[in-house]
Structure 1
Amino acid sequence: MSTKTPNSGFRRILLKLSGEALAGSAEDKKFGIDAKTLDGVCKEIAGVIESGTQVAVVIGGGNFFRGISASESGIERATADYIGMLATVMNALAVQQGLKQVGIEARVQSAIPISPVSEPYVRLRALKHLNLGRVVIFAAGTGNPYFTTDTAASLRAAEINADILVKATKVDGVYDSDPATNPDATRYEQVTYDEVLQKRLGVMDATAIALCRDNNMPMRVLSISEEGALRRMATGGSVGTLITSA
């Protein structure tokens, strides 16, 4: 599925960002949006756009609200998930404004219609924006409860014919165990989707992984906080961990 641009980079990528990626790394900043962190993320995306690669973004809302966690405390699961979708819209609007500050045009498309602040998700309109050099930020997940934003990222990547899905996290790849608790954890250079599922490596939920595998969509897992890593990946560099169908 991968299509290369003349500079050996990817033509179009789908970037999956967690909501926590916007909250900063400090222990007292695990909630909300950290302005410095937001600026850094937007500059990384701008670097990719400047290299000639089109960028779409799916963003989570865990820095404000987690549907699954809230459902465990008594809120009905469907309602909790809808609240979580609204949290992703807040993050999407913040990223849109952050990109504007660094000179990049962006559009927010929401799976839940919120016309005063975003466009509805329309695939052909999203493709038009991308071809015009704009970043498209997909908010509100799939628009349905019981589906994660990871699944939304896999779905949107397939829908817009992305060449690769990039999961940008606080970790620089996929490890055989949690590197935060195990100093001897080993990072994979490359792994298959079947291995991710069999070994329960926790990259994404099983639905998202299966969707990527079945659509032969490669994925690269890298650190969003590593300066220049996203652009190096987009221009053909080997960064983080590559996940493929075979």
Structure 2
Amino acid sequence: MILASGATCDAIQRPHIQLCGDSTILMTFSAIRTDAFVVVEVDGEAADACGDEVVIALDRGFVADIDADLRSGSWHLCPELRGILSDMRVRRPAGRLDRLYIQAKATELACRTAELLTAGALTPSSGSRDLSEFDARRVVRARDLIHQRFAEDLTLHGIARACGLNRSLLSRGFRLMFGKSVAQYLAHTRLDAARRLLVTSDLVISSVGHACGYSNNAAFTRAFGRRFGVPPSVTRRQVHLPPCPALSER
């Protein structure tokens, strides 16, 4: 299924539902596969798509009306959205009431998709089409665990066990979905958190490193320099520089 904003009928070659202004067009599409995806294309920005999808095209005004921060990407089609699509598929547009029903369901589908995306309730599938939804959800759980517990002594084995995956599948899935190894993602998460602490707190630099999972201050300083191009001490000094007199007089 493709949910698109700023698309036109001429630009879409696959079976689709077009919802632009007051017009709705229903074309025949096949049964919804259990391994289907919801692909969001916003303002004409193409997103990865494959297979036999249903296309739902929304004009920009609709996206503005529902006040949703829709961004291009790909997600596994959850049972709730698949149910809405099934309701639309079995209803044939024989009369005006049927067409109104289908249009209402298309609107429900778009709004519910936006709500689920905003809530982070859909499982990303970008780069993970070789993963089942079951495995993709666990890779996402591993990412969330890193964000929640990055200050702890995390290991690949421990993360994999906590998320119900073997190390090989976790490593492969992480690269497919997030473009980084687990170790790289963990390091970047720690260092980004350390930079925020340097900017927003008065903790001494060694305490900042320790609070973000680094037991060795020298290792923290080297990693920080590789990530941001300057050592932690420079970042701290830049934050506390006095204002420029010429600017403060303006």
Q: Normalised by the shorter chain, which TM-score bucket? A: under 0.3
The structure with the largest helix share of the pair is 2
- For normalisation by structure 1, the TM-score amounts to 0.23
Larger Rg, first or second structure (1 or 2): 2
- Compare the two structures and name the one with the higher strand fraction: 1
Greater RCO, CA 8 A, separation 6+: 1
User: Given the two structures, how large is their TM-score scaled by the length of structure 2?
Assistant: 0.23
